[in-house]
């Protein structure tokens, strides 16, 4: 659709950016924080541990002041479960409450709306030992954690996100250090989707609890959604794209919004003898949770062809790679797209199609909770970071979001990844995403001082013009 005139961004559009606790905070065992699964995992060779990260725990005031200088309307951060409740259940850590109170209050001081992710890849290690999401009790653990957050922060936090990228926890959990597979497990897929089922039930309960405890708050899921293209107009490729769209994308949103398993996903699980077990009442619980909006992370689309029956799951594949599964789809590179330095395809028009597709399926307002470019940024002698590649990437995505708004899609906000440089899920500190540069290397912590990248000044103008001025 070619538009002659673009609709403006909504006047209360939430411009901001995102981080997650275990990737940005550091202070991994300070002030009573218990370890999370991220603190006890073996990090990929050649990458930093997660003890200090960007040290936001000690520098949140400086970080929030810089966000305010950019004109942020919102800051999406996550709450570390084991900072709040060190053992995951039981005693609450007063220092944890104090830290998040300070962080929230600091945001509000500058009229920055806190957008809180409740769970971002960091199960308390104590609960990991008890089986993590594989233990049915995880539903109650998560509901209790949510209650503690609602009680302590619900007077000031209006926007909540449940589970970050539940689809990636399920599809590439071991890569991001989260999937707990019990010893002797003979059907890993069934175990994985049983864990996934527990997360779904927990999410539905928490959405219902939020509406009950905080009637003025809004809550939604935050999956990683990438529209899947067929490799060609061959009908078999289209069927493969539908398969992978269901497995990767729609299942998670069908569940969050309608409380129902996607039929293609269910057929895939049946085929693999991997359907999860339901407890009595689960169907009702799943149907009882309703999101007020959809948060979603978008990095790039995926492209698949028909399976020829020989595909094997590649254990090294990450969040943005369609791997292929015999009988369902074969992941391929899209020859029409370029890639980032870290091998992720770049597809701004795919952002527009993803938004359009989601809106036509669910008709809920949407907020982008991640989108961004990981790159090897360099600090120059005179304290500058020239990152035109990031500006170009973000500009092209914002242009497409603007077109999607003109297409009639309801967008609430845009929070690229990331506000501040932080540690990547599996590619270390050198894969930088921030508007704010952090002076540290992979293993040398240096000064941890903050520097404004060129993209910082550019984004400030974008926000000031409510998305109208995207020029350098
Ligand atoms: C998303 C996650 O998958 O992408 C973030 O929600 C992550 O936690 C981001 O950091 C970028 O991925 P990566 O692997 O480059 O860190």
Q: Whose CA is nearest to atom 3 of ligand 1?
A: 319
- 274-235-230-232 Cα dihedral, nearest 10 degrees: 150
Q: How many residues are recorded in the chain?
A: 472
State the closest ligand 1 atom to the C-alpha of 176, by its place in the atom list counted from 1: 14
- The pLDDT of residue 321 is 82
Confidence check: pLDDT of 315 > 80: no
- The pLDDT of residue 323 is 81
User: In angstroms, how far is CA 245 from the centroid of its own chain?
Assistant: 18
- The pLDDT of residue 245 is 98
Distance 172 CA to ligand 1 centre (A): 12
User: What is the average per-residue pLDDT within 406-434?
Assistant: 97
What is the percent of the chain with per-residue pLDDT over 90, rounded to a whole number? Answer: 94
Q: pLDDT band for position 322 (50/70/90)?
A: confident
Confidence check: pLDDT of 32 > 90: yes
What is the percent of the chain with per-residue pLDDT over 70, rounded to a whole number? Answer: 100
Q: Catalytic residues, which ones?
A: 165, 370
- The pLDDT of residue 409 is 98
Distance 214 CA to ligand 1 centre (A): 30
Task: Say how many CA atoms lie within 13 Å of 41 toward its Cβ.
Answer: 26
Q: Whose CA is nearest to atom 8 of ligand 1?
A: 425
Region of poorest pLDDT, from 51-65, 228-242, 321-335, 422-436: 321-335
CA dist 300 and 420 (Å) reads 21
User: What architecture does CATH give domain 14-303+336-464?
Assistant: Alpha-Beta Barrel (3.20)
State the closest ligand 1 atom to the C-alpha of 168, by its place in the atom list counted from 1: 3
Classify residue 325 by its DSSP letter.
B
Residue 313 or 207, more confident: 207
Distance 320 CA to ligand 1 centre (A): 10
Distance 8 CA to ligand 1 centre (A): 30
CB–CB of 36/122 below 8 Å?
A: yes
Confidence check: pLDDT of 147 > 80: yes
State the closest ligand 1 atom to the C-alpha of 164, by its place in the atom list counted from 1: 6
Distance 155 CA to ligand 1 centre (A): 30
Distance 425 CA to ligand 1 centre (A): 5
Q: How high does pLDDT run on average in the chain?
A: 96
The Cα-based distances of 207 to 197, 211, 234, 265, 365 in angstroms read 15, 6, 41, 23, 16
Confidence check: pLDDT of 313 > 80: no
State the closest ligand 1 atom to the C-alpha of 417, by its place in the atom list counted from 1: 9
- Which of 424, 427, 428, 432 should be mutated for ligand 1, with most atoms under 8 A from CB? 424
Confidence check: pLDDT of 235 > 80: yes
User: What is the average per-residue pLDDT within 27-46?
Assistant: 96
Q: Whose CA is nearest to atom 16 of ligand 1?
A: 424
Residue 11 or 315, more confident: 11
Confidence check: pLDDT of 138 > 90: yes
User: What is the average per-residue pLDDT within 9-31?
Assistant: 98
Q: List the chain domain ranges.
A: 14-303+336-464
Confidence check: pLDDT of 339 > 80: yes
Confidence check: pLDDT of 179 > 80: no
- ∠ CA 248-252-256, nearest 5°, is 170
User: What is the average per-residue pLDDT within 34-42?
Assistant: 96
Region of poorest pLDDT, from 104-113, 136-145, 169-178, 419-428: 169-178
CA dist 387 and 176 (Å) reads 27
State the closest ligand 1 atom to the C-alpha of 320, by its place in the atom list counted from 1: 3
Residues framing ligand 1 (Cβ under 6 A): 20, 23, 164-165, 168, 224, 297, 319, 370, 374, 417, 424-427, 431
pLDDT tens sequence across 358-392: 999 999 999 999 999 999 999 999 999 999 999 99
User: What is the average per-residue pLDDT within 271-298?
Assistant: 97
Q: Whose CA is nearest to atom 11 of ligand 1?
A: 424
């Amino acid at each position: 659709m070619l538009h002659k005139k673009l609709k403006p961004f909504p006047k209360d559009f939430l411009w901001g950016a995102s981080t997650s606790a275990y990737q940005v905070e550091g202070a991994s065992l300070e002030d009573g924080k218990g370890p999370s699964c991220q603190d006890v995992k073996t990090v990929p060779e050649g990458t930093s541990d997660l003890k200090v990260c960007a040290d936001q725990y000690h520098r949140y005031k400086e970080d929030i002041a810089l966000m305010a200088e950019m004109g942020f309307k919102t800051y999406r951060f996550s709450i570390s479960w084991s900072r709040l409740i060190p053992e995951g259940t039981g005693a609450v850590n007063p220092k944890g409450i104090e830290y998040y109170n300070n962080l929230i209050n600091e945001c509000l001081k500058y009229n920055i709306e806190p957008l809180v992710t409740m769970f971002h890849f960091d199960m308390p290690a104590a609960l990991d030992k008890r089986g993590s999401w594989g233990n049915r009790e995880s539903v109650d653990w998560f509901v209790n954690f949510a209650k503690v957050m609602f009680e302590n922060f619900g007077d000031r936090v209006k926007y909540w996100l449940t589970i970050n990228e539940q689809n990636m926890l399920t599809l590439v959990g071991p890569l991001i250090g989260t999937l707990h597979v019990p010893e002797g497990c003979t059907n890993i897929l069934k175990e994985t989707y049983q864990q996934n089922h527990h997360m779904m039930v927990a999410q539905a309960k928490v959405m219902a609890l939020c509406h009950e405890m905080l009637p003025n708050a809004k809550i939604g899921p935050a999956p990683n959604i990438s529209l899947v293209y067929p490799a060609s107009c061959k009908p078999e490729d289209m069927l493969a794209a539908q398969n992978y769209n269901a497995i990767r994308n729609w299942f998670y949103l069908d569940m969050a919004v309608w409380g129902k398993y996607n039929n293609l996903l269910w057929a895939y699980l049946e085929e693999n003898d991997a359907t999860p077990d339901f407890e009595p009442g689960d169907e009702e619980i799943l149907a009882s949770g309703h999101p007020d909006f959809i948060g979603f992370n978008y990095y790039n689309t995926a492209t698949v062809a028909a399976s020829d029956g020989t595909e094997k799951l590649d254990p090294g594949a990450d969040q943005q790679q369609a791997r292929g599964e015999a009988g369902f789809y074969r992941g391929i590179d899209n020859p029409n797209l370029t890639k980032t330095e870290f091998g992720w395809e770049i597809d701004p028009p795919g952002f527009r199609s993803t938004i359009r597709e989601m809106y036509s399926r669910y008709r809920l307002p949407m907020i982008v909770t991640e989108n961004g470019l990981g790159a090897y940024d360099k600090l120059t002698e005179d304290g500058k970071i020239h990152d035109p590649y990031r500006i170009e990437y973000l500009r092209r995505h914002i242009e497409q979001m603007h077109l999607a708004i003109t297409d009639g899609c309801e967008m609430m906000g845009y929070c690229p990844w990331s506000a501040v440089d932080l540690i990547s899920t599996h590619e270390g500190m050198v894969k930088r995403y921030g508007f704010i540069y952090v002076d540290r290397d992979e293993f040398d912590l240096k000064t941890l001082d903050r520097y404004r990248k060129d993209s910082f000044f550019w984004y400030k103008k974008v926000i000031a013009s409510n998305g109208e001025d995207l020029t350098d």
